[in-house]
Amino acid sequence: MMMKKNNYWGAILLLIVGAAGLIGWLEVRHHQELGKIDNARFILISKQEMKLRLIDYKGNELFSAPVATGKNTGDKEKAGDMRTPEGVFQVADIQKSADWKHDFKDGKGEISGAYGDYFIRLAVPGHKGIGIHGTHLPESIGTRDSEGCIRMNNEDLNRLASLIYPPMTVVITPAAEDEKANCISK
């Protein structure tokens, strides 16, 4: 009976050591493969910090900049709700937008250059027109002042546009007040 018990625990130990070795090998292999991709990176946007970060596959911060997000708290539910979506998305396209105009419905009419030089369109299921773009109001950066998009200073936007590509992953995380609003609306 004692021999069978020792064999049982020995087999369990061998199974654990083997699994740990396999996991270690897979992790090394994964990093080797990602290392072959020069631009293995993602964008992290924190609504709590009002900050955008470009992160590489090792977790190194390659770029960061302050941002503005939607005027209203909570996750985007419908067009026109002035909320920035939360979750995991992808860069769908990087469009030149220097000539685009926008009417902010503030009585000033259409504003040229409202989006800066680029509009980084995000693939947000159920919503069109969400993206990362520049601004004609640099004083709005660091606040909740957009109609749902992520705004950046134009210089920061131009730098970001040179560092990213479709279909790069974009993660947008909520602030505490967004979590509260999300609980109330559901």
30 carries an active-site annotation? no
Give residue 143's Cα distance to chain centre.
18
Question: Residues 30, 133, 136, 183: which is the catalytic one?
Answer: 133
Token pair 């995000």 in the structure block, residue: 122
183 carries an active-site annotation? no
Question: Residues 30, 127, 149, 183: which is the catalytic one?
Answer: 149
d(CA 71, CA 106): 14
DSSP notation for the chain:
-HHHHHHHHHHHHHHHHHHHHHHHHHHHHHHHHHHTSTT-EEEEEETTTTEEEEEETTS-EEEEEEEEEESS-S---STTS-----EEEEEEEEEE-TT-EEE-SSSS-EEETTT-SEEEEEEBTTBSS-EEE--S-GGGTTSEEESSSEEE-HHHHHHHHHH--TT-EEEEE--HHHHHHHHHH-
Q: Report the catalytic residues.
A: 133, 149
